A and B are shown apart, each in its own frame.
Chain A
């Protein structure tokens, strides 16, 4: 048979029993809509979940701190300390999937001075080669700092640039916002008592880099002042040399220890693996991921459950198609016999039935996709309250996020899936049709 004749004959057979075909197609439509909508809701939930998580910071960062606070069984907070040094750093750097590692020193005793005015800042002393890896915003000129550019440059976050400097003249305090382009700024270490026999050590800032504002405007990068660790060590050693002998020893020793090691993992999915590795080395670590993991698992579970509901609907419609095809074969037993005697090949009989089943699946799939878009739109427009109650307890729904998201591949998947379900469920009935003996078939009425 020519393919065109096969299609025409198949379509004619389907239109012969309009009601039955229609009901079977409706079955497939329901199956398709439920599976598409369920998947889209799952995807929508995951997306809004990730969006709200992203607002809170990067998901791939792990922190290993020298001091860890933990709540014990009695509800009291106790701290434990662990030693973080160059050795720990190198061990962590060797872990698979670790993209960037930097030691962090937050020296709170560094003061900013501009003439008589004094200001404070949160100094982030880190390996500036890793700056970009940790998702910090670019500089105002669009570039990122690295070790080379950071030899004598200190970078101010968007908020840190706005910090006011104070001056107490004995009666009242005066404030001043520093213009980094014109005012001279110095850094002084105020950790130890000044050695009166030596000149106080100051860092005169020659170059100041301005960091652009982060998307949220209030992230760590915005209120921090970044300095490369090598630059810090150089200056701090010089500072230590101005101190009294006892203080000098302490100061130099403190350089060997880090407050924190920050790790960036190349993929969200490996964060917990890397944390496990760090744990094996004997270090405690924390990450945002760690808190989010259970919530993510809940969301994934919900997605799976929704998908399963859709799959059940699809299974029912597959059975429905098979049933329709079997009925159709019973009805057309005689016709099949006649066709065979008139020279119709067995393969053509099979193709005919597979085509009919496939078309039911395809039409159901296509109409189903259309209705899925309608359902998805309705959910996004009117379904807010339902989903807010569903999502409560995990994470707040991010502003402007959608409850049902149909990605571009889903309609193609659904159409293909519908047709495959049709062809598969039509396969055994079709096989049965080919086995009908012509002589028996023609005897039947």
Chain B
């Protein structure tokens, strides 16, 4: 697979804060191939999220060019961009960004509503994908009635429901505990693989980047290095793929933890102890 679906050419984003000029993204160039899982890795403030927003057309480039499927995203009108998003892009957010007044099913339906898909067909598609992410029984629940992990799975279902070519994920597990993180990552990866979809994920977590095929290290708005991960090799960073996400349930705690990669076990166990507390927190804050 060497067909590039995203081409970033010398992309720059400069913010003016008073008299200061902040170079959030400073002359970045890279490509992402079709079906690739690309990870933008960097510390907070490195400009990785800005880069993602630029690629998704949420923010406007200061200079440079970003081509998605050969089309320049910067040159599109507002309406063209909306249409382009409907057809080609899916989004997963750190804070889920579900609409609180809508049920899980309605949230998943939303991109299809904008795409003018008819009611019956829309519901069918949304139900199917909710079952795929393991929320078959929670379709009528509102986001507040679900745990963080469940909410993010709704978010994933929403991102994938219209079968976009590219899914952007901005710290998709940032608000989740380690065990749920693994579930969610598994889910994203398996969903993408099923339809040969391209994933662009932003994270600061080195561990998570190991799910990716390509890791782009970002520092101070510039690319530090590009790392190609070889999943077929000895597998020192390879995530497990034995279990399908369908079987991974949020209450299926122990098995999920057991499946974390070897070198992270120690760290994971540390987090595991605090899992219960964190889950409660998630409930409260959402």
Contact = CB atoms under 8 A, between A and B. Distances in A.
Contact of B83 (A334, A335, A343): A343
Contacts of A5: 113, 119
A16 interface: yes
A442 B93 contact: yes
Contacts of A4: 119
A338 to B, nearest CB: 5
A16 B111 contact: no
Nearest to A334: B97
The A interface is mostly helix, strand or loop, or mixed, namely helix
B113 A1 contact: yes
B258 interface: no
B97 A1 contact: no
A334 B95 CA distance: 11
Interface stretch (B3-11, B34-42, B53-61, B200-208): B53-61
B114 A338 contact: no
B82 A2 contact: no
A343 B85 contact: yes
A342 interface: yes
Given A12-B101, A439-B59, A343 B53 contact: no
A351 interface: no
Contacts of B232: none
A268 interface: no
B116 interface: yes
A343 B78 contact: no
Interface residues of A, number: 24
A2 B116 contact: yes
Interface string A1-37: 1101100010011001000000000000000000000
A347 B101 contact: no
Interface string A313-336: 000000000000000000000110
A344 interface: yes
Given A347-B79, A438-B58, A342 B101 contact: no
B56 A341 contact: yes
A439 B97 CA distance: 12
A417 B101 CA distance: 31
B105 to A, nearest CB: 14
Nearest to A345: B82
A338 B79 contact: no
A87 to B, nearest CB: 77
A355 to B, nearest CB: 15
A443 to B, nearest CB: 9
A406 B232 CA distance: 83
A372 B78 CA distance: 45
Nearest to A6: B113
Contact of B79 (A9, A335, A342, A345): A345
A340 interface: yes
A356 B58 CA distance: 27
Contact of B101 (A16, A341, A348, A442): A16
A369 B79 CA distance: 40
A343 B99 contact: no
Contact of B91 (A2, A341, A345): A341
Contacts of A334: 97
Nearest to B81: A343
Given A339-B114, A345-B78, 8 more contacts: A1-B113, A1-B116, A335-B99, A341-B97, A342-B110, A343-B115, A345-B82, A442-B93
The 7 closest A-B pairs by CB, nearest first: A343-B86, A343-B85, A345-B82, A343-B114, A344-B114, A342-B111, A338-B97
5 contacts: A339-B114, A341-B85, A342-B110, A342-B111, A344-B82
Interface of A: 1-2, 4-5, 9, 12-13, 16, 334-335, 338-348, 438-439, 442
